[in-house]
Chain A
Amino acid sequence: MKKPAWLNVERRPAASGRLVFAVSIIAILAALVVAGIFFQIYGVSPVRAYQVILKGALGSWLGLTETVRRAIPLLLIGVGLTIAFRALFWNIGAEGQLLMGAIAAAGVALFSGLPGPLLLPVMFIAGFAGGAAWGLIPAVLKVKLGINDVITTLMMNYIAIYLMEWLIHGPWKGPTARGFAYTDQFPRAAWLPTLYGTRIHWPTLVLGLLLALVMYILVTRTRSGFEIRVVGENPDAARFAGISQLKTTLLVMFIAGGFAGLAGVGEVAGIHHKLLGPLNISMGYGYTAIIVAWLARRNPLAVIITSFLFAIIISGGDVIKVSLGLPFQLINVFNGLILFFLIGSEVFIRYKASFSFRRQ
């Protein structure tokens, strides 16, 4: 590609935090502008659309609480993904890990026969284990056999989706479900408490906030966090220093898969109280969380903010459907655009562009 003579592009040795922040904001604004074109195509003024979305997602008590409950799975998964991405493990499989967590928790709730007070804790443990197991398989495949992590994690999503479909249509189909494809309702003891009058299952929210803090400390202050960063930044130096790539990769995927599994527990125990179709349970939290983690620049604490931001967008999807009669899927366009501009904006973090209009 030919570069105009007045444009100079140079490598930037180190980018300041303020620059990264500014570039991220501009990327989001650019995505808003381009998404506006789509609203325009549907005959809705973009300005009005954004007003409606903001008002719907934040302007009313109900809207706000719905936004917060959407943020919970994004927060849990996003925090886990920052850890995987730090070690340069490209986990695209959080969606499947979430579903496996939901399946494991549902299995415990429905069939374990555990006494009431034990039920929820065991569901969380089982959910974590289910998600972690789903995450560890691609980790082993990558380190031992060199199989591309993007492909395996992505494909594992489909296995989880169809496993769940099979369970709710087949062996786990509830006798009381009147022919619908879902399980029986969980016993009351397996329901997560919610904030009064809302769907915010607060124990999961507290867990997410806590884990964000713990993971921040893990990355910045601990030996394991140091190993994760070394493996991610320079695998050769890690080998040289005797840091095991296998152990580190297993650790990050244990965390990332497990946290996604916890998100799955929250959805079934906090919202649905039964296992139902994969699309009803998640509708893409696992994919959206990739953007959440990326926008947070792999900082677990920043995920608290970015997960809320994307929860607004998801809530906005409900709003535009109800208030404007637009398809819910528009928000996927929106998410895609944000990721597109975020990745594109990396250029401005790594390079410095300047202009010179002097005559040749």
Chain B
Amino acid sequence: MKRFPGVVASDGVNLGVRQGEIHCLLGENGAGKTTLMRVLYGLYQPDAGEILLNGKPIQISSPRAALTHHIGMVHQHFRLVPTLSVEENIILGLDEGTGPFLNLRKTRKKIREISEEYGLPIDPQAKVWQLTVGQQQRVEIIKALYRDASILIMDEPTSVLTLQEVDQLFATLRTLVDDGLTIIFITHKLNEVMEISDQVTVLRHGKVVATLPTSQTDKPSLAKSMVGREVVFRLEKSVVKRGERLLQVDTLHALNDRGLPAIRGVSFDLYGGEILGVAGVSGNGQAELAEVLTGLRKATSGRIFLGGKDITNRSAREITDAGVAHVPAERIRMGIVPALSIRENLILKSYRHPPFSRLCFLNRKESDAKARRAMEDYQIAAPSDETATKLLSGGNIQRVVLARELSGDPRLIIAAHPTYGLDVGATEQVRQVLLKQRERGAAVLLISEDLEEIMTISDRILVLFNGDVMGIIDADGADVEQIGLMMAGTRHEGAVGEETRVA
């Protein structure tokens, strides 16, 4: 059992994992999956209860102690030093070599053996910053294997991967299990549970709801026990009449943080009552596009019109005041001020306006009232509106961001990866909120790497590749394969032409 102030994060959990199986730990954000695993990895100490390994009680006081019991962990956010090489990262914290000298030759050999045995191709001498996210995860897995881990804890390993990388990861995990390793796989994605696991344990509010062989269950019943109620997988998308043209983007160009072209001549139109999905493999200009549209990045050329008014390179504040909401991709880094309260985060963009401030003073009563309303409307679970936002779960943080951004009925909503990392319940809620905004007549630009999401709720789909629009197609009857081709750089000429003519 593990208590945090005010909450029991892990409450009388009994978890049995057999050797040589892939055991999925399924639960919503805040259900206590990660807490439980951190106890196993020695990052937290249980307040009560014990851990048995091969029938013997053990005490895991630190990650180092976990390693002596051959327990390894691949964190959701990698623990790698970007400027060091792969092999240097792998031996980090180990006593390798003789005396003060490193002996990397032996290390390199062992890394090669591991990578060949388990199908984890990697160049030991590459610097970590040069690697893709998928490759970095591979380094983390090798790091654990290098330390002779026989139990591998993987915390939401697929959340950062592309579809192909997920397939590759699953193949690796199967080889590892065939070799006798045991894998605990934390996730909130039902598809993955069904695909990879032998056993599944469902957690809700820190308690075990069910443990059963995966073969004896299915997605709907897992979803039900995870959320505690029936979940609608199909969202009802009502017919909304397309409104006026709200956003017009004309041959937009912009640079990325390293000064290289990131957006090269992007043009599109967006109408009221419409959701335009932006699909693409990550790093093809989506992040920069959202930033240019919201005034956080300068356009080097091109024009942006909002309701016919030129807003190109206006400040973030002017664009906000013009009725543009932004649900940022990195919600914790950008979307909230973690140390401030929910109440204060909710007025982050409106604090200058009445009724939240008069002259130069903030009106506490008004922001309090607003916070209480928002917490009810968006079902933000927290002890009070004075709770520091950093103490909330990912889903609740996103609810705070949405509540703030959508208050004041914005005309245009730029939503970047709005359901990334959220559990089923929160994801459903976010999508419904976006659809409701569309019904209200707002224009929504939905940037997402989740193709299923884009296809479910968008009206049209724009595909970005290398900073360029590969085409805009209707979501109705859109074909995944076609979108896949566009994401890989094949231009879909017809649709683009049509769009331009409509514009």
Contacts and interface: CB of A to CB of B under 8 A. Distances in A.
B440 interface: no
Contacts of B44: 10
Interface string A1-21: 011011110100110000000
Contacts of A354: 45
Given A14-B5, A240-B328, A360-B59, A234 B338 contact: yes
A295 B317 CA distance: 36
B277 interface: no
B5 A224 contact: no
Interface in B358-391: 360-362, 364, 388, 390-391
A5 B65 CA distance: 8
A226 B335 contact: no
A226 B45 contact: no
Contact of A240 (B296, B318, B352, B357): B296
B307 to A, nearest CB: 19
B333 interface: yes
B351 A223 contact: yes
A242 B295 contact: yes
Given A237-B348, A241-B348, A222 B362 contact: yes
Contacts of B335: 237, 240
B391 A14 contact: yes
A83 to B, nearest CB: 15
A185 to B, nearest CB: 42
Contacts of B4: 13
Contacts of B391: 13-14
Contact of A242 (B317, B328, B360): B317
A356 interface: yes
A205 B250 CA distance: 61
B386 to A, nearest CB: 11
Contact of B361 (A2, A13, A221, A356): A221
B61 A3 contact: yes
A224 B360 contact: yes
A230 B360 contact: no
B238 to A, nearest CB: 32
A233 B352 contact: no
A242 B352 CA distance: 11
B344 A226 contact: yes
A239 interface: yes
Which of A224, A236, A358 has the largest count of B CB atoms less than 10 A from its CB? A236
Contacts of B287: none
A223 B361 contact: yes
B225 interface: no
A354 B2 CA distance: 14
25 contacts: A3-B62, A3-B64, A5-B61, A6-B61, A8-B61, A13-B4, A13-B390, A223-B360, A225-B362, A226-B344, A229-B337, A230-B337, A230-B348, A233-B337, A234-B336, A234-B337, A234-B339, A240-B316, A240-B328, A242-B316, A242-B317, A242-B320, A243-B317, A360-B58, A360-B59
Interface of A: 2-3, 5-8, 10, 13-14, 221-226, 229-230, 233-234, 236-243, 354, 356, 358, 360
Return the 10 tightest CB-CB contacts between A and B, nearest first: A242-B317, A242-B316, A8-B45, A234-B337, A233-B339, A240-B334, A233-B337, A241-B348, A236-B334, A5-B61
Given A223-B357, A238-B337, 13 more contacts: A5-B59, A5-B61, A7-B61, A222-B360, A223-B351, A229-B344, A234-B336, A234-B337, A237-B335, A240-B316, A240-B335, A242-B315, A242-B317
